């Protein structure tokens, strides 16, 4: 419940499968290509599969590490845990519903609680949340193969499963076996670990290679897989789904489930002698001893829990909580602090997507005019309390891949007039632009009730510019269907994000003019195709960045997307005995009180003295100054 206004709810529904199951964004659109790939593979099945088979075994006597190999590691990036942090304390959290299973894969395993469990399963390597460089997790060193589809890893010999067993190369080979098994009833994983990961080669207990199916850039995002405990699962059979529903699987992260009462609560305990506690980027993190999740089935009740200190922190990104509900005793008396933390991550491409197959939007001038008729600034200022910010393009927050010179077209009646008259339109009797039997009146499809307030303001303002918007609120799946079938005029929606901008699915002509692809603007531009193809085929980071910037310029030039809002921050309330580092989070932080995330979590710590002081103050009626902290370290400057 730490998202804003439910506005991400749609995106969640829209791209649930894509996002949660591993960040691959090609599900809709890549089907064909992947089919081709499998075909290629099946032409030479023996050659490529034979080594894969041997790898699942203990050790392959034939496997030999290539000689010219350059081992890399990273211990020089800035650390972000606070040296002041001390261990101890219990963090109380709430969840809206109890997980339906503790399994990490298979039926019902993708609930909202899965994130907590998965965060405690480390991978070979991680990503530094501020520099986005690779950092060690279970591997100490890594190296790239010459074929651009292989990565080699040296494992940390200290790594232990929570049951004390060492983590060895064999456990990675087992991941492949496990994820490809039909017994886990997880078609997506079956597919991904077959079509994306070719094989794991074991050289010795602590050296391995992971081979992808194709050469591609940013290989490390795909190949840094997680191990699976072979000694725990062993040989799989049809019993798997049932047998492991409530089994506590060994993990490699800082916490492990200690006990749980189904439907009520779940308690995780910090490992006292966690093997990774002294790793450079894990130091001074994961400080709290215990994390207790209690099931509270309603957000309003969770808020009441928070006010009674039965919950330690509360997400207040939603304006109503930040501005109104938090104007309450415990905050005003200074017992609860508020923090407004700007992060710097990939922003969802939210906005108005124009269907260029509609006659009216075939003319670029009309598309520009449409963009100039949207008074987004007024909505931000007078409806959204200036809490939201203007999104300038569809790809903000992608680091060097973002073209930060692009500015979204602003509300400008003069420009609308200029563009429309240039295209031969004139204002009709009701003030709406007309040309022949065409009228500048378009349907806007949207799904979220709360967005009506924003859209009615846009509608009234657009009328001044001579553009009529007809609002069409549909249920999420009906709307998504309509948009994917390209039956909309304008779609009011956003896409989920991944670590790198995805252009092909949204803007390549191969996906235009046909249903069920993500090119919902029906962009069909030969020059754009050329750029996107070059970008897709390039394995050179610099070239990819240059092309990415160019493509974004081109998107702006085509003008089929009117960016609207972004929420470049998180806001939270927390009881004053919780302490945060001087820079309280990282660029990628989505919640400052995330106890587990291996990349951004566990930065806060518990201060017992402050706790005692606060409790006695509350008893005696003593108050403190209210505190609202704003941190703009990572705020994106336009």
Partner 1 sequence: MRLNPLTIKKIRRFRSIKRGYYAFLLLFLMILISLFSEAFINSRAMLVKYEGRFYFPIPGNMIPGATFGLDYDYETQYRELSKIFKAQDNGNWVLMPLVPFNPYENDLKDGQYPPFAPDFKNRHFLGTDNVGRDVLARLAYGFRTAIFFSLVLLVVNYAVGVSIGCAMGYFGGKFDLFFQRIIEIWSNVPFLYIVIILSSIMIPNFSMLIGIMAFFGWMGMTWTMRTLTYKEKAREYALAARALGATDTRIIFKHILPNTLSVIVTFAPFSVSSGIIALTSLDFLGFGLPPPTPSWGELLSQGWANMGAYWIVGSVIFAMTLTLLLVTFIGEAVREAFDPKLHTTYE
Distance between CA 511 and CA 508 in Å, rounded? 6
The verdict on 96 binding partner 1 (CB under 8 A) reads no
Instruction: Report the residue number, 225 or 469, with the smaller CB distance to partner 1.
Output: 469
With binding defined as CB under 8 A, does residue 417 bind partner 1?
yes
Length of the chain: 638
- Asked if 102 and 165 count as a contact pair (C-beta separation under 8 A), the reply is no
Scan for tokens 């859209």, then name that residue: 455
CB of 181 to partner 1, least distance (A): 39
Establish if 299 lies at the interface with partner 1 (CB under 8 A): no
- Work out which of 297, 464, 514, 530 binds partner 1, going by CB under 8 A: 464
Q: Check residue 439 for interaction with partner 1 (CB under 8 A).
A: no
Closest CA to 611 of 603, 602, 619: 619
CA distances for 601 relative to 129, 154, 280, 552, 596, angstroms: 10, 25, 15, 32, 5
Pairing relationship of beta strands 290-295 and 90-95 according to DSSP bridges: parallel
Give the whole-angstrom CA distance, residue 262 versus residue 55.
39
Choose the stretch contacting partner 1; rule: CB under 8 A; options: 33-41, 201-209, 277-285, 379-387.
379-387
Our finding on whether 431 is near partner 1 (CB under 8 A) is: yes
Q: How far is the CB of 39 from partner 1 (least distance, A)?
A: 38
* Region of residue 588 (left: phi > 0; alpha: psi -120 to 50; beta: else): alpha
Q: Smallest gap, in angstroms, from Cβ of residue 324 to partner 1?
A: 8
CA-closest candidate to residue 569, choices 391, 408, 387, 394? 387
Angstrom distance (rounded) from CA 542 to CA 148:
16
Identify the H or E element spanning 563.
strand 561-563
Among 43, 147, 278, 475, binds partner 1 (CB under 8 A): 475
435 binds partner 1 (CB under 8 A): no
Q: Which is nearer to partner 1, 30 or 383 (CB)?
A: 383
Q: Which residues is 573 bridged to in the sheet?
A: 314, 338
Choose, by CB under 8 A, the member of 248, 309, 471, 617 that binds partner 1.
471
Residue from 89, 253, 397, 466 in contact with partner 1 (CB under 8 A): 466
| Interface stretch with partner 1, choices 91-99, 363-371, 374-382, 601-609 (CB under 8 A) | 374-382
530 binds partner 1 (CB under 8 A): no
Closest CB 466 distance from partner 1, rounded Å = 7
Stretch that binds partner 1, among 54-62, 176-184, 381-389, 519-527 (CB under 8 A): 381-389
Examine residue 429 and tell whether it contacts partner 1 (CB under 8 A): yes
Name the minimum Å distance from CB 313 to partner 1: 25
Question: Nearest to residue 354, comparing CAs of 372, 365, 367?
Answer: 367
Number of residues near partner 1 (by CB under 8 A)? 29
Does 465 bind partner 1 (CB under 8 A)? Our answer is: yes
192 vs 322, beta carbon nearer partner 1? 322
Residue 602 structure tokens: 């566990």
> Which residues have CB under 8 Å from 464's CB, separation 6+?
413
Burial environment of residue 210 by CB neighbours within 10 A (0 to 12, 13 to 18, 19 or more): buried
Q: Which is nearer to partner 1, 387 or 524 (CB)?
A: 387
Report the C-alpha gap between 179 and 194 in whole angstroms.
9
With beta carbons less than 8 A apart as the criterion, state whether 125 and 225 touch.
Answer: no
Residue 340, token pair as written in the block: 């407004």
Q: Should residue 19 be labelled a site residue for partner 1 when binding is judged by CB under 8 A?
A: no
Least CB distance from residue 479 to partner 1, whole Å? Answer: 9
Tell which one of 9, 180, 415, 459 touches partner 1 (CB under 8 A): 459
Binder of partner 1 out of 41, 231, 283, 473 (CB under 8 A): 473
Measured distance CA(307)–CA(294) in Å, rounded:
15
Which segment (191-199, 382-390, 536-544, 563-571) binds partner 1 by CB under 8 A? Answer: 382-390
Instruction: Among 267, 463, 611, 635, indicate the residue that binds partner 1 (CB under 8 A).
Output: 463
Nearest approach in angstroms of CB 488 to partner 1 is 13
Q: Does 383 interact with partner 1 (rule: CB under 8 A)?
A: yes
Residue 627 engages partner 1 in binding (rule: CB under 8 A): no
CA 387 from centre of chain: 21
Restricted to residues 384-403, the positions that interact with partner 1 (CB under 8 A) are: 385
Contact 378, 335 (CB under 8 A): no
Residue 300 binding partner 1, by CB under 8 A: no
Q: Is 377 in the site for partner 1 (CB under 8 A)?
A: no
Tokens representing residue 212 in the block = 């992808």
Nearest to 254 by CA among 230, 278, 222, 231: 278
Of 474, 510, 534, 610, the residue at the interface with partner 1 (CB under 8 A) is 474
Query: Cβ closer to partner 1: 385 or 410?
Result: 385
Segment near partner 1 (CB under 8 A), from 75-83, 203-211, 343-351, 458-466?
Answer: 458-466
Q: Which one, of 244, 106, 111, lies nearest residue 185 by Cα?
A: 106
List binders of partner 1 among 581-600 (CB under 8 A). none
- Give me 547's structure tokens: 């092309």
Partners of 135 in the beta sheet? 126
Q: Which two tokens stand for residue 257?
A: 């489930």
Contact call for residues 394 and 552 (beta carbons, < 8 A): yes
Q: Under the criterion CB under 8 A, does residue 79 sit at the interface with partner 1?
A: no
Binding site for partner 1 (CB under 8 A): 378, 381-383, 385, 413, 417, 427, 429-431, 449, 452-453, 455-457, 459-460, 463-466, 471-475, 478
């Amino acid at each position: 419940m730490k998202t804003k206004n439910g506005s991400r709810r749609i995106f969640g529904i829209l791209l649930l499968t894509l996002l949660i199951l591993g960040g691959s964004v090609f599900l809709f659109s890549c089907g064909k290509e992947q089919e081709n790939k499998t075909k290629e593979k099946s032409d030479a099945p023996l050659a490529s599969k034979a080594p894969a088979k041997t790898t699942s075994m203990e050790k392959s006597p034939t496997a030999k590490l290539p000689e010219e190999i350059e081992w890399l590691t990273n211990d020089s990036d800035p650390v972000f845990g606070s040296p002041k942090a001390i261990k101890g304390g219990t963090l109380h959290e709430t969840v809206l519903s109890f997980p339906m299973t503790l399994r990490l894969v298979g039926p019902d395993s993708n609930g909202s609680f899965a994130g907590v469990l998965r965060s405690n399963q480390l991978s070979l390597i991680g990503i530094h949340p501020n520099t986005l460089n690779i950092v060690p997790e279970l591997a100490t060193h890594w190296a790239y193969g010459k074929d651009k589809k292989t990565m080699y890893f040296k494992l940390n010999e200290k790594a232990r499963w929570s049951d004390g067993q060492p983590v060895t190369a064999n456990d990675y080979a087992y991941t492949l076996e496990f994820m490809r098994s039909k017994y886990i009833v997880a078609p997506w994983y079956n597919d991904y670990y077959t079509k994306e990961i070719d094989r794991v080669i074991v050289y010795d207990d602590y050296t391995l290679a992971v081979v992808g199916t194709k050469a591609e850039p940013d290989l490390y995002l795909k190949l840094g897989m997680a191990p699976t405990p072979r000694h725990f699962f062993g040989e799989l059979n049809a019993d798997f789904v049932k047998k492991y529903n409530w089994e506590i699987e060994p993990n490699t992260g800082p916490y492990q489930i200690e006990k749980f009462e189904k439907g009520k609560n779940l308690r995780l305990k910090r490992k006292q002698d966690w093997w990774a506690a002294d790793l450079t980027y894990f130091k001074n993190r994961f400080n709290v001893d215990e994390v207790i999740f209690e099931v509270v089935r309603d957000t309003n009740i969770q808020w009441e829990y928070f006010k009674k200190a039965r919950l330690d922190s509360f997400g207040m990104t939603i304006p109503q909580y930040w501005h109104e509900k938090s104007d309450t005793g415990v905050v005003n008396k200074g017992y609860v602090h508020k923090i407004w933390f700007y992060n710097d991550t990939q922003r969802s491409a939210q906005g108005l997507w124009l269907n260029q197959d509609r006659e009216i939007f075939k003319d670029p001038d009309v598309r520009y005019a449409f963009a100039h008729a949207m008074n987004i600034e007024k909505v931000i200022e007078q409806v959204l309390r200036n809490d939201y910010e203007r999104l300038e393009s569809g790809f903000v927050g992608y680091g060097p891949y973002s073209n930060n010179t692009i500015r979204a077209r602003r509300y400008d009646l003069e420009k609308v007039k200029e563009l429309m008259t240039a295209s031969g339109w004139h204002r009709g009797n009701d003030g709406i632009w007309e040309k022949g039997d065409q009228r500048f009146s378009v349907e806007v499809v949207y799904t979220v009730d709360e967005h009506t307030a924003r859209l009615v303001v846009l509608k009234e303002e657009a009328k001044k510019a001579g553009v009529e918007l007809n609002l069409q609120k549909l249920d999420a799946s009906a709307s998504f269907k309509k948009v994917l079938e390209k039956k909309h005029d304008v779609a009011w929606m956003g896409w989920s994000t991944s670590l790198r901008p995805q252009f092909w699915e949204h803007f390549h002509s191969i996906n235009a003019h046909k249903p069920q692809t993500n090119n919902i603007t029906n962009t069909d531009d030969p020059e754009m195709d050329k750029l996107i193809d070059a970008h897709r085929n390039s394995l050179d980071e610099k070239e990819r960045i240059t092309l990415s910037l160019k493509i974004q310029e081109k998107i702006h030039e085509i003008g089929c997307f009117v960016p609207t809002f972004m929420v470049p921050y998180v806001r939270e309330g927390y009881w004053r005995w919780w302490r945060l580092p001087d820079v309280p989070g990282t660029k990628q932080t989505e919640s400052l009180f995330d106890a587990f995330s291996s990349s951004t979590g566990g930065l806060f710590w518990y201060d017992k003295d402050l706790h005692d002081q606060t409790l006695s103050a509350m008893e005696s009626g003593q108050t403190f100054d209210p505190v609202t902290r704003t941190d703009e370290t990572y705020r994106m400057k336009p």
